[in-house]
């Protein structure tokens, strides 16, 4: 077991932003524990992949335990896995409520609880959450009550945990995103989605990765909600 390298745990790591973060943290010299429901094995000995649904009870603890067993430490947790369903509030089903709250809230809770316990044992660490600017700037063209309900909770708990653990060497920050060009958005929607941003374009995965890497290296920043949204949170 090599415990000299820092270790990042990244959820939702099989594609899109998560996959970009795996590559970026490896370039920083971190070992990475990458998890998602469908993730395959990695040829990189410094990348441990663990399959699991973050919404299922016990998965967060199992992934953090795997990280400790393989690498002996956890320095950064990025709660990247998330579910977004845009539809009128009264059209949401009970199953959709369970899905969104399970991934966005329970997944955060279980991973963060286990990771922070591991960080406390090493006198420090960093938790990064992924939220949406719709929490701060609702848009009539994008009905997203369940996103606001759950991601708004992440924004609030980011500040709470940042203060709770400020003297323990653990920082907690969030990136609040606009719409990012990932595989979840078909090409024929890009023109409409670009128009939802004051800058007139969608964000790219690298925009999010760069923001998270900034937070990773910003030792004097904690409790921050960093908007990466093409100006959405400022107005339209």
Chain centroid, CA 217 distance in Å: 17
pTM of the model: 0.95
Chain centroid, CA 21 distance in Å: 10
Q: Is residue 165 part of a domain?
A: yes
Question: Per-residue pLDDT tens for 158-175?
Answer: 999 999 999 999 999 999
**What is the phi-psi region of residue 88: left when phi exceeds 0, alpha when psi lies from -120 to 50, beta otherwise?**
beta
Quote the mean pLDDT of the chain. Answer: 94
- What CATH number does the domain containing 183 carry? 3.40.50.720
Question: Per-residue pLDDT tens for 96-147?
Answer: 999 999 999 999 999 999 999 999 999 899 999 999 999 998 888 889 999 9
Q: Is residue 61 part of a domain?
A: yes
**For residues 231 and 197, is the Cβ–Cβ distance under 8 A?**
yes
Mean pLDDT of 56-63: 97
pLDDT beyond 90 at 35: yes
Q: Is residue 236 part of a domain?
A: no
For residues 92 and 141, the model is more confident at 92
Q: Is residue 2 part of a domain?
A: no
Q: Is residue 176 part of a domain?
A: yes
pLDDT at 182: 84
Q: Is residue 197 part of a domain?
A: yes
pLDDT at 2: 56
Assign 198 to helix, strand or coil.
coil
pLDDT at 176: 97
Q: Which of 69-73, 147-151, 192-196, 216-220 has the lowest mean pLDDT?
A: 192-196
CB contact burial 85-110 (16+ within 10 A = b; e otherwise): beeeeeeeeeeeeeebbbbbbbbbeb
pLDDT beyond 90 at 192: no
Q: Is residue 130 part of a domain?
A: yes
pLDDT at 27: 97
| Domain count for the chain | 1
Q: Is residue 234 part of a domain?
A: no
Domain that holds residue 53: 7-228
CB contact burial 199-235 (16+ within 10 A = b; e otherwise): eeebbebebbbebbbebbeeeeebebbbbbbbebbee
pLDDT beyond 80 at 1: no
């Amino acid at each position: 077991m090599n415990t000299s390298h820092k270790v990042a745990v990244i959820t939702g790591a099989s594609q899109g932003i998560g996959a970009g973060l795996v590559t970026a943290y490896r370039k920083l010299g971190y070992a990475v524990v990458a998890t998602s429901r469908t993730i395959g094995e990695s040829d990189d000995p410094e990348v441990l992949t663990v399959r699991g649904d973050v919404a299922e009870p016990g998965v967060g603890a199992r992934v953090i335990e795997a990280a400790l067993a393989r690498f002996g430490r956890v320095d950064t947790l990025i709660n990247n896995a998330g579910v977004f369903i845009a539809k009128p509030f009264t059209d949401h089903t009970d199953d959709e409520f369970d899905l969104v709250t399970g991934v966005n809230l329970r997944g955060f809770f279980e991973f963060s609880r286990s990771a922070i316990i591991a960080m406390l044992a090493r006198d420090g660490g960093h938790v990064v959450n992924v939220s949406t600017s719709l929490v701060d700037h609702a848009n009539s063209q994008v009905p997203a009550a369940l996103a606001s309900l759950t991601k708004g909770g992440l924004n609030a708990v980011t500040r709470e945990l940042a203060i709770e653990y400020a003297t323990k060497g653990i920082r907690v920050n969030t990136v609040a995103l606009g719409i990012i060009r990932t595989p979840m958005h078909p090409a024929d929607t890009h023109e409409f989605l670009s128009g939802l941003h004051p800058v007139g374009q969608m964000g790219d995965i690298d925009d999010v990765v760069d923001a998270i890497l900034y937070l990773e290296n910003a030792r004097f920043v904690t409790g921050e909600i960093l908007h990466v949204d093409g100006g959405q949170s400022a107005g339209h």
